[in-house]
Amino acid sequence: MLSVKDLNAWYDRSHILQGISLEVQAGEIVTLMGRNGAGKTTTLRTLMGLVPKKKGEASIDGKPFLNLAAHERYHLGLAYVPEDRRIVAGLTVKENLQLGIIAKKNTGDMNALVDEIAEIFPRLKERLHQEATSMSGGEQQMLAIARAMIGKPKVILLDEPSEGIMPVLVDEMFKLFSDLKQKGLTILLVEQSVKHALSISDRAYILDQGKIVFHDTAKNLLANDEIQQKYCAV
């Protein structure tokens, strides 16, 4: 599904990503782990075309996308939920959701798509007509994820979904990811909360100083305290 080969990226003259290769198969949740500054966010941003200086290969179902325009990536099935969520102030929850569909051609009935997604996110269903930025951080994060999903992407890149969210909502969110995985959603996840992330992931890659230094099944990594302490301490 998602294949990345020898990805390199630079901020000015700093060579941040130094040959990242990874695979995410259809229906998998794969986590990118590593200390602060290891290059996790930069990996997602580079895949989304937000880092201009880059080299390497990335494809979805064999179709290369690294040099495509944003809307072309979107049509290939790539969605991104950045750490800062980018919920639009002054719009309701429903209007924010609709923004996730507008870019798509032949979407059919917008209301039907909103209803469909609201069934998956009950917290949003109750708040469709509320101003989006009046919701809690966790609810806004759910909205950002729902807005990415409404375009029916093949792969979602999720950056730190639990950041700044109260623990009870984090548990709910990870349960939701697990349910979405059962429905076939494919996720590449960046997450500081290692235990949460590994508990729902199939596999994980560990990044250190812009390189993949380790990769294993989530089950093995959960049991591997040595690697967790070496590479995942904040």
Residue 16 or 93: the one with the smaller Cβ distance to ligand ATP is 16
Looking at the Cβ atoms of 39 and 151, the one nearer to ligand ATP is: 39
In the complex, the residues that contact ligand ATP under the rule CB under 6 A are 11, 14, 16, 34, 36-42
Smallest gap from Cβ 117 to ligand ATP, in A, equals 28
CB of 31 to ligand ATP, least distance (A): 12
Q: Mark out the alpha helices in the chain (DSSP H runs).
A: 40-47, 70-76, 93-102, 110-120, 122-125, 137-149, 167-182, 194-200, 218-222, 225-231
What DSSP string describes 172-232? HHHHHHHHHHHTT-EEEEE-S-HHHHHHH-SEEEEEETTEEEEEEEHHHHHT-HHHHHHHS
Q: How far is the CB of 221 from ligand ATP (least distance, A)?
A: 17
For residue 18, the minimal CB distance to ligand ATP (Å) is 11
Comparing CB distances to ligand ATP, the nearer of 41 and 201 is: 41
Shortest Å distance, C-beta 90 to ligand ATP = 27
> Pick from 10, 28, 75, 35: which is nearest to 207 by CA?
35
Distance CA 49, CA 214 (A): 25
The closest alpha carbon to 83, from 137, 47, 119, 131, belongs to: 137
Q: How far is CA 189 from CA 79, 154, 159, 221, in A?
A: 12, 14, 6, 15
| CA quadruple 9, 13, 16, 19: dihedral sign | positive
Among 4, 2, 35, smallest CA distance to 19 is for 4
Q: Is the CB of 33 or the CB of 146 nearer to ligand ATP?
A: 33
**CB closer to ligand ATP out of 9 and 173:** 9
> Nearer to ligand ATP by C-beta: 9 or 200?
9
How far apart (Å, rounded) are the C-alpha atoms in residues 59 and 66? 7
In angstroms, give the least distance from the CB of 22 to ligand ATP: 14
